[in-house]
């Protein structure tokens, strides 16, 4: 099976559209923070050690860990 693309795979400055959220429990938290399927998400920056990252969604910035970003799958 081909690996699905997630927010984790974005480069800094690159954008993508949210397809679905992989982890149900984590997904609920992400939904509440505004990560709705269909929304555009942009990787804004990485912490100096590569993890966590910040993303821009709906004009505001969120910070999250890579293993959390991994659960946000993007449309191919």
Classify burial at 50, counting beta carbons within 10 Å of its beta carbon; exposed 0-12, middle 13-18, buried 19 or more: exposed
Stretch that binds other proteins, among 1-9, 11-19, 54-62 (CB under 8 A): 54-62
By C-beta, is 9 or 54 nearer to other proteins? 54
Q: Is 7 in the site for other proteins (CB under 8 A)?
A: no
Q: Which residues contact 8 (CB under 8 A, 6 or more apart)?
A: 66, 69, 70
Q: Is 65 a binder of other proteins (CB under 8 A)?
A: yes
The CB-of-18 to other proteins minimum distance in angstroms stands at 11
11, 13, 60, 76: residue in contact with other proteins (rule CB under 8 A): 60
């Amino acid at each position: 099976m081909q690996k699905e693309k997630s927010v984790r795979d974005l480069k800094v400055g690159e954008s993508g559209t949210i397809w679905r959220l992989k982890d149900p429990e984590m997904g609920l938290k992400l939904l509440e923070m505004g990560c709705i399927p269909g929304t555009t998400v942009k990787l804004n920056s990485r912490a100096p050690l590569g993890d966590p990252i910040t993303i821009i969604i709906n004009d505001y910035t969120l910070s999250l860990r890579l293993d959390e970003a991994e659960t946000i799958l993007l449309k191919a």
